[in-house]
Structure 1
Amino acid sequence: MVKSIWEASNDEYMLQPLTDEIIKKAEELFNVTLPNSYIAILKQQNGGQPICNAHPSPVPTVWGETFVIVEHIKGIGAGNGILENDYYIKEWELPEGLILFNGDGHTWLAFDYRDATSAPPIVYVDVDLEQTIQIADSFEEFLTNLYLENEEFDFGEMEVKVYSKQEFETFIQEDNVDELIDAISELAQSDVDLKWFGNQLLTLSNYHDKNVRRMVANNVWSFLTHQLHEEILHTLIENFKNDVDSDVRMYAELALEKVNYSFEQLKEDVYNGERISLAFQDKLYHVIEDSNQWHLADYETDTQQSFDSADELLEKSRIDGKSLQEGWSRIKKAY
């Protein structure tokens, strides 16, 4: 029996229980053999937060002089699992042949299948520094070397830029592409004046630089489809659809999928054990399956409605006093 590496908690990376069919699907998709040690831990729990949160690094990284932080390990599945790998490889312009099992966009941990179809080494990738480091010869060695980093990582040491309206508009006037790319992402995830920001994004959706247009489209799809005014959102999507860049057009399709997310699609995702985030007005709700119970969680008030089956959740859960189906016209898919 393999000793469990997992924290006793439920988080966004914990997927539905692993089956042989899901493993087969993944290996056929990537045309590789996944490590036995990876399969073994996922049969205990299909992704999540490990007890040990760090791994040694042979060179300094943004995390520290001698280590990288391991906040989660992705399981096999859609959403927050490795089956979304191709999307992230394309979005962050990472090398083909990597299968990402940890990361947030700027740094990643990955199985390196560039020169192998089985028994891959493990690499750490820093996108911003264009740095790729092999940190373990195998996933088994990676697991063996995990340890608990007791010193809390000081995120205050990381520079987090806060952008004002005036600064952002100046970046546009001065054609400051690098600052615009950083500011778009930061503002999209902050408490920003959405009417003002939406109008700025409309301007930038016709910008001459494709990387700026890609960043606009990416962040609209990732964070803003449930927040922007409908008229602005639909105009943005039309601009994305007509863009000469294929990546921008792809984000238009992904955004439309969110906008047109139906109650029937919700039912299918709930039955498949997917974690779904829904928005109603300014509040977020999360549909979660855990330990054979289904929950509609409201993290703002730290409350949840719990049910013994997916059907019961779909029928009996309430948002603003109405069932999900009754109130669906006012509910949006968030993430």
Structure 2
Amino acid sequence: MIDNEQLQAWHEDDQHQFIVDAILAIDEAERTLELTGWLARAFNNLGQYEQALELLFLFPDAERDAVWHYRAGYAYANLAQYEQAVQAFAEANELQPGDEDIEDFLDYVRGKLERQEQNKQLSAAARARLLERQQASNGAAEQPFAHVDLSSFWEKSDYADKEYVLPYPTDDVIAAVEKELGYKLPQSYIQLMRMQNGGIPVNTCFPTELPTSWAEDHIAITGIMGIGSSKSCSLAGDSGSRFMIEEWGYPDIGVVICDCPSAGHDVVMLDYRACGPDGEPEVIHVDQESDYEITFLAPNFESFIQGLVHPDTYDTSEADKAAALERVANGAFSPLLEQLCEQATEVSQIESKIREICRQIVEEKGYFALHADERSTLMYDVQFWLYTRANADVTRQGYLDDYSKMIAFGGEFSTGGYAPAFISDWLDQRMKAGDIVYNGAGTGIHFTAEAVARLLDRLDNY
């Protein structure tokens, strides 16, 4: 029988799968309730919340103490079942009053439950208004956008053509994409895509009654994904719906249809929870920065498109640019970036050079973000050089894992987010060009001496 000391050691080392494997190797009839509790805890820590709850409900009522309710509440909270989570943490709080962790979780899930109820009310009100409009037209079925002029809906730009716009979606393409996504697309979505298959609309903001991480009263989108797979920004593309769900952790409740200016940290989705995979989905905003918090937007896709407004409605660009300039001029570097700059003796005033490059980025874009433009690429080069000159045997994945600790989420001097594909694409391009190579052992990667020399020459100009 495995001892508690070993289980605790694995838990403290985040080796939760070891706990699962060890306990599952014990015959079920020989497992004690204590081991079952350990197993439920490990499943919770592995994100397998349904399995954790199944195990917890093997406990008889008399054995359900504060720890049991805490673990149940944790599972319910991560499944967005906030009413049950509130009940569980409230019971834990009664059984073990004064525990700060329990009190903090109870406050958290109460706030989430309130938000969830507000979304339900907004959804019900929007659907009631939609029903009234349908009844006013005597219930006559109409084609989507029957009374809407969409001739000037899309913005015309080379960037949109390159990143979003796909060829006309045939019935076969639509069927293939729907099969891959697991959901039937709304007829209004298909009709819009048959006017132009993906792109950047002229109106990119949508009013909200609840605040989000983007703004108190609206969200913004970057573009609408087309039906296809040949471009990253398409429903079945490399950065499409399944990628955002499987790699970024967005809830598997529908289809991601719009990316947002946060470069992946919030999205707009079609929500099929209430209607099923063949029904008419609602449109929601999902905010990764707030634990994938959901905000109701519209009762259907057509209403969402009709509700989009121009960014000038919420124009804060001058204030945003001023704040970004202040951040790049005076914001504190992350501990990692500060340490790397202190070690980079080859470049005089490296911190000032980084700030100047980023100031020019803000002046050009109006905000602080790194994409695939020339100055952003220079900042990717600088960060990689600083990191690899200070660390031996840097692996590709190791660098990608640590990248966010420098500027992307680097505290005050930070873009506040990033798209991993930009970094991996930059890295692949540099390796293909021969600027980044493996070391002799074939494990670590680094710039060639020639690439470093070129980078230092560029930095001399700042």
1:113 aligns with 2:268: no
Contact in 2 for aligned 1:207/1:213 (Cα 8 Å): no
Structure 1 residues 56 and 198, CA, compared in 2 at 3 Å: closer, same or farther?
A: same
User: Which residue identity is paired with 1:138?
Assistant: N
Between the aligned partners of 2:316 and 2:303, the Cα distance in structure 1 is 24
1:167 positional shift = 5.3
1:110-259 correspondence to structure 2 within 5 Å: 110-115=269-274, 116-117=276-277, 118-130=279-291, 131-151=293-313, 152-154=315-317, 155-156=320-321, 162=328, 168=337, 170=339, 189-192=376-379, 194=381, 197-198=384-385, 200-201=387-388, 203=391, 205=395, 211-212=401-402, 220-227=423-430, 230=434, 232-234=436-438, 239=443
1:91 aligns with 2:91: no
TM-score w.r.t. length of structure 1 = 0.56
Contact in 2 for aligned 1:6/1:48 (Cα 8 Å): no
Identity of aligned residues (%): 21
1:40 positional shift = 0.7
Between the aligned partners of 2:211 and 2:176, the Cα distance in structure 1 is 37
Between the aligned partners of 1:75 and 1:35, the Cα distance in structure 2 is 13
Between the aligned partners of 1:9 and 1:226, the Cα distance in structure 2 is 29
User: Which residue identity is paired with 1:20?
Assistant: D
Structure 1 residues 239 and 187, CA, compared in 2 at 3 Å: closer, same or farther?
A: farther
Structure 1 residues 212 and 69, CA, compared in 2 at 3 Å: closer, same or farther?
A: same
User: Which residue identity is paired with 2:235?
Assistant: I
Structure 1 residues 39 and 186, CA, compared in 2 at 3 Å: closer, same or farther?
A: closer
Between the aligned partners of 2:228 and 2:219, the Cα distance in structure 1 is 25
1:126 positional shift = 1.7
Bigger strand share: 1
1:27 aligns with 2:27: no
| Gaps in structure 1 of 5+ consecutive residues | 174-184, 241-280, 283-335
Structure 1 residues 158 and 128, CA, compared in 2 at 3 Å: closer, same or farther?
A: farther
Between the aligned partners of 2:323 and 2:283, the Cα distance in structure 1 is 25
Choose 164-173 or 47-56, whichever is displaced more: 164-173
Instruction: Kindly provide the CA deviation profile for residues 196-225 of structure 1, in whole angstroms up to 9, marking residues without a partner as x.
Output: 724625845489899537999865423332
SS in 1 for 2:244: helix
Contact in 1 for aligned 2:285/2:295 (Cα 8 Å): yes
Greater length-normalized contact order (CA 8 Å, ≥ 6 residues apart): 1
CA RMSD of aligned residues (A): 4.1
1:159 positional shift = 5.2
Contact in 1 for aligned 2:336/2:405 (Cα 8 Å): no
User: Which residue identity is paired with 2:219?
Assistant: V
- Report the count of equivalent residues: 231
Structure 1 residues 192 and 76, CA, compared in 2 at 3 Å: closer, same or farther?
A: same
Contact in 1 for aligned 2:371/2:422 (Cα 8 Å): no
Contact in 1 for aligned 2:178/2:185 (Cα 8 Å): yes
User: Which residue identity is paired with 2:429?
Assistant: H
Contact in 2 for aligned 1:225/1:233 (Cα 8 Å): no
1:232 positional shift = 3.0
TM-score w.r.t. length of structure 2 = 0.42
User: Which residue identity is paired with 1:61?
Assistant: T
Between the aligned partners of 1:112 and 1:29, the Cα distance in structure 2 is 16
Q: Indicate the residue corresponding to 1:298 in structure 2.
A: none
1:9 aligns with 2:156: yes
SS in 1 for 2:167: coil
Structure 1 residues 26 and 158, CA, compared in 2 at 3 Å: closer, same or farther?
A: farther
Contact in 2 for aligned 1:18/1:42 (Cα 8 Å): yes
User: Which residue identity is paired with 2:311?
Assistant: E
Contact in 2 for aligned 1:123/1:135 (Cα 8 Å): yes
Partner residue of 1:39 out of 190, 200, 204: 190
User: Which residue identity is paired with 1:139?
Assistant: F
1:195 positional shift = 6.8
Contact in 2 for aligned 1:53/1:71 (Cα 8 Å): yes
Between the aligned partners of 1:212 and 1:108, the Cα distance in structure 2 is 24
Bigger helix share: 2
Between the aligned partners of 1:210 and 1:222, the Cα distance in structure 2 is 11
Q: Indicate the residue corresponding to 2:80 in structure 1.
A: none
User: Which residue identity is paired with 1:121?
Assistant: E
Between the aligned partners of 1:62 and 1:157, the Cα distance in structure 2 is 19
Q: Indicate the residue corresponding to 2:18 in structure 1.
A: none
Q: Indicate the residue corresponding to 1:246 in structure 2.
A: none
